[in-house]
Amino acid sequence: MKPETKAVDIDRSVGDFHYKVDYAKDAGSGLSEKTIHYISDAKEDPDWVREFRLRGLKTFLEKPLPTHWASKDLEAIDFDKIRYYLASGDAAKRTWEEVPEDIKRTFERLGIPEQERKFLAGVEAQFDSEAVYSNIKKAVGEQGVIFVGSTEGVAKMLSENIDPKTYKKIPGLGHPIHKPVDPRTVKLFEIARETGFYGKHCKKMEELAAEKKLVLNATGAIGALACELGLDWRAVRGLGVMARAVGLVGHLLEESREPMAEEVWYRIEEEASAHNKPKK
């Protein structure tokens, strides 16, 4: 029998506010080719990005919502009421003092500056559709840190035909838990073979994994498949964001139907403090 759960009591007043903002760029409500062209014009996209956006829209409009595995609640979303691009028109700022006062008030009320000073070496703050504050500390760059994720690194290596021997650690190989195989990779390549997308890039990653005697993990598989799909490696970083966004929607819907956050909280608290309880 499933234990009864209660809704978590949280202070919603922290984020329950808004300020009037004047936007220089506004794509308006609704999702259409006109919206895509507006966004691409505003961002000065190269042609391949514009075409990629348009293909994505076409696929979205042709495919049914995944209510067979997510929820019928998805059908309640009115995509024509969503505003897909809003921006002040200003470039990202390098210091907090440069950020416009109306935007700054929003972040100050949310406590962003304080949190940044305490925990972050730098931050790129997102306000509506554009970043308004960008600051990565100089010391990080001087140490030669390259901000490229594993999936993006695999896609770059394959698409530019970079010799794997130039890497100290080849991206996409190895995993601390999934051994001797990563089941996610197995499933991804199974689907790729069924749909005709398994090609030279997937094969090369499998050969590298066998040569190095390391697991080909999911990021390696996704990077290879992105190349099979003809994606520019610089666009691959967005795949992880998209996947996490879809996962978040699923979690929110699940929590709305069967709340369990409070139960999880109490279980964590109980198990984390178990060592302090007197032994029997």
Whether this model's pTM surpasses 0.75:
no
Over residues 238-256, the pLDDT tens digits come to: 888 888 888 888 888 888 8
CATH for 148-271 (1.20.1440, 1.10.230, 2.60.120, 1.10.3470): 1.10.230
DSSP-assigned letter for residue 160: T
pLDDT at 51 over 80: yes
| Residue 107 or 45, more confident | 45
Q: pLDDT-derived band of residue 2, with 50, 70 and 90 as boundaries?
A: very low
Residues sharing a CB contact under 8 Å with residue 188, sequence separation 6 or more, in sequence order: 218, 221, 222, 225
Residues sharing a CB contact under 8 Å with residue 22, sequence separation 6 or more, in sequence order: 88
Over residues 173-215, the pLDDT tens digits come to: 998 888 889 999 999 999 999 999 999 999 999 999 999 999 9
Q: pLDDT-derived band of residue 169, with 50, 70 and 90 as boundaries?
A: confident
* C-alpha distances out from residue 273 to 5, 8, 258, Å: 22, 21, 26
pLDDT at 117 over 60: no
* C-alpha distances out from residue 44 to 26, 36, 236, Å: 15, 12, 19
How does the average pLDDT of the chain come out, rounded?
Answer: 79
pLDDT at 75: 81
Q: pLDDT-derived band of residue 5, with 50, 70 and 90 as boundaries?
A: very low
Helices within the chain (DSSP H only): 33-43, 47-62, 101-110, 112-119, 138-142, 150-159, 183-195, 200-212, 218-228, 237-257, 261-272
Q: pLDDT-derived band of residue 118, with 50, 70 and 90 as boundaries?
A: very low
Q: Could you state, in order of their start, the residue ranges of all structural domains in the chain? A: 18-85, 88-142, 148-271
Burial group, residue 232, by CB count within 10 angstroms (0-12, 13-18, 19+): middle
* Partner residues linked to 122 by β-bridges: 136
Q: pLDDT-derived band of residue 3, with 50, 70 and 90 as boundaries?
A: very low
pLDDT at 1: 43
Whether 74 and 113 have beta carbons less than 8 Å apart is answered as no
Of all residues in the chain, the percent with pLDDT exceeding 70 is 72
**CA dist., res. 183 & res. 73, Å (int):** 30
First CA to last CA across the chain, in angstroms?
29
| Residue 202 or 64, more confident | 202
